[in-house]
Amino acid sequence: MFTGLVTDIGEVAAVMDHAGGLRRLRIHCTYAAQSIALGASIACAGPCLTVVAFGPREGGGTWFEVEAAAETLARTTVGAWQAGTRVNLERSLKSGDELGGHIVTGHIDGVAEIVTRDDIASGEGAWGATARFVIRAPHPLARFIAEKGSVALDGTSLTVNAVEGDTFSVLLIPHSLAVTTWSERRAGDWLNLEVDLMARYAARLAEAKAEGY
């Protein structure tokens, strides 16, 4: 379980393909090696991936390796990652941790596309520009996205500002742009989308009622 609050930006160092469609990725990060455990879950740009190996890096920082199966490669952007790709990272919640974003599972529902990015200049003395993104969701997922609701994009918990058909907008403040990969995002980029868990269950309950269950 995660919150959608990014705690580090990792960089893919190596991509290794294995038989059966399995892909192993080595990721560099600034987490202390002793804070990572074998079998731990780390959200990498949204998808919850399991640590299968890790160790300290010369000069500081840590490397860890995760494996992505065919389902993950098909439903997320992981299949397009290559050496140099930067990814938002978040380690799983521990009992007693503050839930600062919203409940995020790391189970990606689909891939969304950035339609437009508009940078909004801040006034004098401000901390930088904000950015408004208009996102197009896959049609089957659009019904789960509501104005003022929550959505996770590339592992980042965001509030939906407006919804129109299959598109919706989100606004990122200067801090969020600075500590995530969103500063690099442009129109045409693809994002891992996880809809709000509560919206998904509410829709399923409505469907079950309509079906007579």
What is the residue extent of each domain of the chain? 8-91, 110-206
Section 191-202 average pLDDT: 86
Catalytic, 48? Answer: yes
> Measuring CA to CA, which residue among 83, 116, 105 is closest to residue 16?
83
Catalytic, 64? Answer: no
> Residue 103: which residues within 8 A CB-CB, separation 6 or more?
1, 3, 197, 198
2-45 pLDDT, tens digit per residue, is 999 999 999 999 999 988 889 999 999 999 999 999 999 999 99
Domains 8-91 and 110-206 share a fold: yes
pTM over 0.85: yes
What per-residue confidence (pLDDT) applies to 126? Answer: 57
Mean pLDDT across the chain: 91
Class of domain 110-206 as given by CATH: mainly beta
Catalytic, 62? Answer: no
Of the candidate CATH numbers 2.120.10.30, 2.40.30.20, 3.30.930.10, 3.10.20.340, the domain formed by 8-91 belongs to 2.40.30.20
Catalytic, 2? Answer: yes
Instruction: Out of 43, 44, 48, 152, pick the active-site residue.
Output: 48
> Measuring CA to CA, which residue among 59, 64, 62 is closest to residue 44?
64
Predicted confidence band of residue 59 (pLDDT cuts 50, 70, 90): confident
